[in-house]
Structures are given as structure tokens and as C-alpha cells.
């Protein structure tokens, strides 16, 4: 296929997706290094340099995984998907390409600044001011392109993905802009700064990343299973509830002190209600995936997106659990919260992103997958890796919380409580990284056409069943 | 659903969230003022020095928040007070002069809200920064040797040099950043009474 045959925006999507792969490997690598340092503290004495310290590796990896891997990747697949909502193609392909390059440049700038100069200490904003500015600028270009995909009238095509896309597109610039102005643009009193940080973190996780993931779930699951969402009213209710409650979820993490009590209570109630919302969306997902086990055994995209969809419900149910008054004081300040981060980031958004790439990229770039067994390695590596890490961290968090709340336990022995769990977590993070490396290799090999395509569509190897490729997700 | 209606719902929800947290939060705690201690004639919380102000940036840049929190919880929900991390719970007014205001969500190490009162000794804080195992063998806190200059030991002791030497041939002189960081740590105190948080 001639490169001119690709639609405008396709190059931008490719830059964003390839960038997201690089940042995912780097981010997960840094996270693995940081967890290893926690497990073996002597490691940070090997290289006595600030950029190698635990305190910089953790924020750097979180920045890379959030903005670099998920932000970049989700925007990339949405650039492929959005024009299909309305049938309106992008017009300014070069502008989008520039926006995509700017996004990668800002991630690189943020990474080097965090490692060399250190994080800012603000929740969800470890990057310096100029990086945020570049991110907003780039997002305005890419987001404006995506709004074109929404279409002027919504008489035909899916509604739920468009609604979640609208939410994600508006929440990011509003949240980041407000946070930057209040935290670094003006001298807001310290007592207000913490509220603003928590507010931005809620916008970032629950009103930007999660809705972008839900766009892909509600667009691709019906296409891949050939079923429609069975209750639009339930879907609409869940969407309105997400809009209203998402911004409050960050306050659950603050325990006592820094912010007014009523905000913490509101956060707890919002987290409980979001658990109900997740169950509501879970009912829609159940209807979409029920009886499709055989299909998901073969179809890689379907299996990844189904895992992502169920992990979405699990993540918010875990959040509701963490907010319960009996568990919140115990699990506050513990690695138990990292379990939520793990499920939310890796299992929900990571799986949905991988599934979407499997479903959309080969069709849009006209290539096939060189190996079926590599796809199996990718699926089991990433799913088992992140699932095991999340379970370990939750258990470790429970032990850590009980120890923290027992004054008889010296704080210096806390690390020994965590050690067995961290050992398994390091191993499972390495397994996830292995799966992602396999995925990156097979995707690059397919894009560069280094090997002949074994399967035009991503399917798992099954010697007993040979089926034709399932539905083309771009054209239904 | 019509696109315009959806747009209004999203914008309305986002603005409502923003107003009810940032704006109401500003109205409720942003206008708090320090309290005058009539005995000492000083304000509480105390205004940090310029050195401590810079030290807050160093504290953030070194990533101390990844292991230490800056928020003491009350006795009803935790053992923070029993552990001696503070004499009362922290309240929003305590963060009034902190720039940037940090709270931290992780406790691999102890809470540092009241470290200035718990460990006021400059030499010990410096030694801890250089190598925490000098003070406690079992410490898992990472060392920060880049905050110190190694100067060959001679007949004259450098001003501010630590009393410990890494090898007997060198003396350790704290860099400006280490001095700022220690000043910041010493400024972290919540051992004063506030109207909403009296001392027990």
C-alpha cells in the first residue's frame, strides 16, 4: 500500500502508539528497578547518583506509565477510531502529526527533568511547569482533531463511546489547566494546594484516563461480539454518574488532616457509588461478553478488551472496598493502594489499549501478525504479571497497615513484613515486562514486514479450530 | 441524546466538581490565618525561613515523599500519636505557609510532620542524609551522598563538616542543598496548639 493511501491522522496515530510502546517498556523497567530497590535496599548503594534513587524512579515511572504509555496510546487508537464514529475524516493530518510529536517530546522532557532535577512533589504532577504546558498544547491539537470525529449530529452510530470521549476531552485541559494555575501560576495558600492536587489527580485518573478506556470498551466490544449494548438508559446513567462522581474519588486517599473532613466523607460516598456505577457498567459488559468464551479463546483483541472491561469493574469495586470505614484507616499510606493502581493501569487500561491495537492497527496499516504464539506469550505474560502484582500488593498493604497501626511494631521492621510480597511482585513485574517486550517486538516486526504474516487478524494458536477472521472492527 | 445536551451535562458536572472542591475549599480553608501565640509573640504555624523554603524543593526533588508522609492522623483512626509522630493530628492550617504543600501517601518510613521537634539535632540529621545506616544499622532509607562534598582531611576542619568521616581521610561538608533540606526538616513541627486542634 502506498503511504498516501493512509488516511490523514494515521501517521499521528502511529507515532502515538509507537511512542506509547517505548514509554511502557521504559516506565515498567523503572518501576521494576524501584521495587527491586525496595526489596534489596543495598541496590541503591551500587550507583550513588540522584537519578538512580528510589525517590526519583517511582515518580518517573508513574509519569511514563500515565502520560507516556496510556495517554499516548489511548490518544493514538482514538485517532484511528474517532473518524469511524461519524464518517468524517480528519483534515489536517500534518497538524495532528505535529501534535503527536509534541506529546512525545514533552514526555521525554518530563522524564529527563524528573530523573535529573527531581519531581515537583505535587500529587499527579511530578513534571515541571513547561512540560505540562507542552502537554496541554499538544492535547489541544489532538483533542480538536478528535472532536471532529464526534460528528455534529449523533443520529447514527454509537452514543456511549462518544459521551465518554467528550468527557475525556474536556476533563484533561480543564483539570490540568486549573491545577497548573492554582499550584504553580499563583501563590495559593498551602492548605488549598493539597485540595487542588487531589482534585487534579481525580480528573487525571477518573475523568480522563478511565473515560478514554470506556470509549474503547463500548465501541469495540459490541463490534467484536456482534451485539449491541442492551440498555442504553443504564449506560447513560452510568455516564452521568461518572461525570458527577469521578472528580471526588481522589479525596478518599487523604486520611485525616490536610483537607476538610466533609470532603473526605464526600470522597468515601463517591467511591461507594462508583462501585455501584461499575456494577452497572459490568451488567452491560456481561451482556456483551456472555456466551462468547469460544470467540475470546481465539480472538486476541476480544480477549484483551474483555479482560480490560472486567478489570474496570474490579478496579472500582476495589476502590469502594478501600474506602469502607473499616478498611480505610488500616490501608491508608500502604502499598495496598498500589494494588488499585496496578489493576486500574495495567489490567484495565493496559489490556484495553493492547486489545484496541490488535483490533485496529493491522486493519488501518494493512499488515498481519508474524507469530501466533507470541500473542499468547503477550496475553499471559501481561495478564498474569499484573494480576499477581496486584494481589501481592494488596496482601502486603494489609500487613503493612496492621503493622503501622500497632505501636509495638518498630517502623524499621516494616520492610521485613513487605519483603516476601515484594519478592513475588518483582518477579511478576518482570513477567509483565517480558510480555510487553514480546508485544512490542511482534508489532514492530509486523509493521516493518520483517516476516511473512502468519495471521491477517490477531488470533491465538489453536490447532483444532481453524476459523476465518472475525468481524473487521473498523467497518463492523 | 443530542450533542449539545451532552456537552452541557459534561461541562456542568466538571464545573460543579471544580467549584465544590477548589472554590469552596478556598473559601473554607484558603482564608485561614495564622494564630498569634501571646506568650512567645510568634505566629503559629511558624513562617519558615528562606533556607527552609528552598529545602522544601529539595525534599520534593529527592523524592522523600515516596516513603514519608507529612500528615499525622488522630487517635481514633490510627496509632500515629502513640508512635510519637506528633502531639496532635494535623489540620489544614498547618500547611498554610508550606510551598509546595505536600502530604504524601506512603509510609515505608515514619511520618515527618513533627520531625523538627523529634530530632532537632543538625549533626544527626546531616548524618542521616549522608548515610542513614550511620545512625541505625537496619535502616532501609537510601543514602544521599551527592548532597555532600568530600574534602581531604587536613589539620583544619572545614566549617560545618560532619563529625564522621567515610574513610578517615576525608571530611564531609554539606552542600547548600543539604543545609536547606535540614532547615526544612527542622521547620516541620506540629507541637503547638491551634483553636481547631488543641494539644492533649
- Chain A contact present for B97, CB below 8 A: yes
Q: Which is it for the CA torsion A33, A35, A36, A37, positive or negative?
A: positive
Whether A193 sits inside 8 A of B100 (CB atoms) is yes
Whether B101 sits inside 8 A of A191 (CB atoms) is yes
Partners of B152 in the β-ladder:
B170
**B60 closest CB neighbour out of A120, A202, A413:** A120
Whether A257 sits inside 8 A of B90 (CB atoms) is yes
SS3 content of chain B, % helix, strand, coil (to 5): 40, 10, 50
Torsional class of A38: left (φ above 0), alpha (ψ -120 to 50), beta (otherwise): alpha
Q: Rounded distance, CA B106 to CA B157, Å? A: 39
Which of A112, A118, A191, A245 to mutate to test binding with chain B, by most B CBs within 10 Å of its CB? A191
pLDDT tens-digit map of A6-45: 666 788 999 999 999 999 999 999 999 999 998 888 887 7
Residue A467 in this model has a pLDDT that exceeds 50: no
Nearest to A34 by CA among A64, A56, A49, A66: A56
- Chain A contact present for B120, CB below 8 A: no
Nearest to A74 by CA among A5, A24, A2, A128: A24
Q: Taking the domains of chain B in order of start, what are their residue ranges?
A: 35-187
pLDDT tens-digit map of A169-200: 999 999 999 899 989 887 788 889 999 999 99
Residue A469 in this model has a pLDDT that exceeds 80: no
Residue A168 in this model has a pLDDT that exceeds 90: yes
Flag the least confident range among A420-434, A444-458, B67-81.
Answer: A444-458
Instruction: Tell me what the mean pLDDT of segment A125-153 comes to.
Output: 90
**A119 closest CB neighbour out of B13, B26, B61:** B61
Whether B100 sits inside 8 A of A55 (CB atoms) is no
Whether A412 sits inside 8 A of B83 (CB atoms) is no
ipTM of the complex: 0.93
Fold of A3-447: Cytochrome C Oxidase; Chain A (1.20.210)
pLDDT band at A88 (very low <50, low <70, confident <90, very high): confident
pLDDT of residue B50: 93
Flag the least confident range among A57-71, A147-161, A285-299, B135-149.
Answer: A147-161
* Residue of chain A whose alpha carbon sits nearest to that of B94: A191
- Chain A contact present for B187, CB below 8 A: no
Residue B169 in this model has a pLDDT that exceeds 80: yes
Instruction: Tell me what the mean pLDDT of segment B40-44 comes to.
Output: 88
Whether A118 sits inside 8 A of B60 (CB atoms) is yes
Q: How many CA atoms lie within 13 A of B158 on its CB side?
A: 18
From chain A, the residues in CB contact with B29 under 8 A are: 189, 191-192, 195, 259-260
pLDDT band at A465 (very low <50, low <70, confident <90, very high): very low
Which of A208, A258, A397, A409 to mutate to test binding with chain B, by most B CBs within 10 Å of its CB? A258
Here the cell at position A47 is: 550507583
What's the mean pLDDT when you consider all of chain A?
89
pLDDT of residue A461: 55
* Residue of chain A whose alpha carbon sits nearest to that of B109: A411
The CATH number given to B35-187 is 1.10.760.10
Q: Are A306 and A291 in contact (CB under 8 A)?
A: no
Amino acid at each position: 500500500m502506498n503511504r498516501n493511501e493512509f488516511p490523514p491522522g494515521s501517521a499521528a496515530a502511529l507515532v502515538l502508539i509507537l511512542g506509547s510502546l517505548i514509554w511502557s517498556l521504559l516506565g515498567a523497567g523503572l518501576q521494576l528497578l524501584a521495587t527491586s530497590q525496595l526489596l534489596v535496599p543495598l541496590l541503591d548503594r551500587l550507583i550513588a547518583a540522584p537519578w538512580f534513587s528510589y525517590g526519583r524512579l517511582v515518580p518517573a515511572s508513574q509519569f511514563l506509565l500515565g502520560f507516556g504509555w496510556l495517554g499516548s496510546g489511548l490518544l493514538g487508537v482514538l485517532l484511528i477510531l474517532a473518524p469511524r464514529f461519524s464518517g468524517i475524516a480528519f483534515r489536517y493530518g500534518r497538524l495532528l502529526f505535529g501534535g503527536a510529536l509534541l506529546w512525545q517530546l514533552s514526555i521525554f522532557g518530563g522524564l529527563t527533568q524528573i530523573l535529573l532535577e527531581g519531581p515537583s512533589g505535587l500529587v499527579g504532577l511530578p513534571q515541571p511547569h513547561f512540560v505540562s504546558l507542552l502537554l496541554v498544547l499538544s492535547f489541544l491539537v489532538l483533542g480538536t482533531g478528535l472532536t471532529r470525529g464526534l460528528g455534529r449530529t449523533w443520529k447514527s452510530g454509537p452514543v456511549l463511546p462518544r459521551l465518554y470521549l467528550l468527557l475525556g476531552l474536556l476533563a484533561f485541559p480543564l483539570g490540568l489547566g486549573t491545577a497548573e494555575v492554582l499550584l504553580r501560576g499563583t501563590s495559593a495558600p498551602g492548605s488549598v494546594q493539597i485540595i487542588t492536587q487531589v482534585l487534579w489527580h481525580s480528573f487525571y485518573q477518573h475523568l480522563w484516563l478511565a473515560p478514554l478506556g470506556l470509549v474503547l470498551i463500548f465501541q469495540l466490544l459490541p463490534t467484536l461480539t456482534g451485539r449491541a449494548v442492551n440498555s442504553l438508559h443504564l449506560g447513560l446513567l452510568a455516564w452521568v454518574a461518572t461525570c458527577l462522581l469521578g472528580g471526588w474519588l481522589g479525596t478518599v486517599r487523604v486520611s485525616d488532616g490536610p483537607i476538610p473532613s466533609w470532603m473526605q466523607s464526600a470522597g468515601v460516598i463517591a467511591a461507594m457509588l462508583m462501585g455501584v456505577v461499575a456494577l452497572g457498567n459490568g451488567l452491560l459488559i456481561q451482556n456483551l461478553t456472555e456466551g462468547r468464551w469460544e470467540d475470546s479463546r481465539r480472538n486476541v483483541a476480544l480477549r484483551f478488551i474483555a479482560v480490560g472491561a472486567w478489570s474496570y469493574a474490579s478496579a472500582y469495586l476495589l476502590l469502594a472496598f478501600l474506602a469502607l470505614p473499616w478498611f480505610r484507616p488500616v490501608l491508608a499510606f500502604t502499598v495496598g493502594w498500589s494494588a488499585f493502581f496496578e489493576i486500574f493501569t495495567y489490567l484495565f487500561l493496559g489490556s484495553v489499549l493492547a486489545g484496541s491495537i490488535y483490533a485496529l492497527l493491522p486493519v488501518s496499516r494493512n499488515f498481519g501478525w508474524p507469530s501466533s504464539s507470541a500473542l499468547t506469550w503477550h496475553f499471559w505474560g501481561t495478564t498474569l504479571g499484573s494480576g499477581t502484582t496486584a494481589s501481592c500488593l494488596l496482601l502486603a498493604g494489609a500487613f503493612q497497615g496492621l503493622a503501622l497501626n500497632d505501636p509495638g511494631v518498630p517502623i524499621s521492621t516494616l520492610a521485613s513484613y513487605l519483603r516476601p510480597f515484594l519478592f513475588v511482585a518483582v518477579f511478576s513485574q518482570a513477567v509483565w515486562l517480558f510480555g510487553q517486550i514480546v508485544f512490542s517486538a511482534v508489532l514492530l516486526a509486523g509493521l516493518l514486514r520483517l516476516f511473512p504474516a502468519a495471521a491477517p487478524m490477531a488470533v491465538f494458536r489453536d490447532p483444532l479450530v481453524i476459523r476465518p477472521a472475525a468481524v473487521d472492527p473498523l467497518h463492523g | 441524546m443530542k450533542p449539545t445536551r451532552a456537552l452541557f451535562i459534561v461541562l456542568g458536572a466538571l464545573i460543579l466538581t471544580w467549584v465544590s472542591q477548589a472554590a469552596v475549599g478556598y473559601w473554607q480553608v484558603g482564608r485561614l490565618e495564622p494564630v498569634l501565640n501571646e506568650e512567645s509573640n510568634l505566629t503559629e504555624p511558624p513562617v519558615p525561613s528562606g533556607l527552609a523554603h528552598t529545602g522544601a524543593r529539595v525534599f520534593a526533588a529527592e523524592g522523600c515523599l515516596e516513603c514519608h508522609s507529612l500528615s499525622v492522623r488522630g487517635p481514633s483512626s490510627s496509632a500515629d500519636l502513640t508512635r510519637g509522630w506528633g502531639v496532635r493530628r494535623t489540620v489544614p492550617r498547618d500547611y498554610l505557609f508550606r510551598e509546595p504543600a505536600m502530604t504524601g501517601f506512603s509510609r515505608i518510613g515514619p511520618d515527618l510532620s513533627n520531625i523538627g521537634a523529634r530530632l532537632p539535632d543538625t549533626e544527626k540529621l546531616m548524618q542521616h542524609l549522608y548515610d542513614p545506616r550511620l545512625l541505625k544499622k537496619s535502616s532501609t532509607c537510601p543514602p544521599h551522598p551527592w548532597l555532600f562534598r568530600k574534602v581531604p582531611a587536613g589539620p583544619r576542619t572545614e566549617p560545618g563538616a560532619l563529625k564522621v568521616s567515610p574513610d578517615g581521610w576525608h571530611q564531609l561538608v554539606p552542600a547548600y542543598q543539604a543545609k536547606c533540606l535540614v532547615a526544612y526538616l527542622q521547620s516541620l513541627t506540629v507541637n503547638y496548639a491551634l483553636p481547631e486542634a488543641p494539644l492533649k
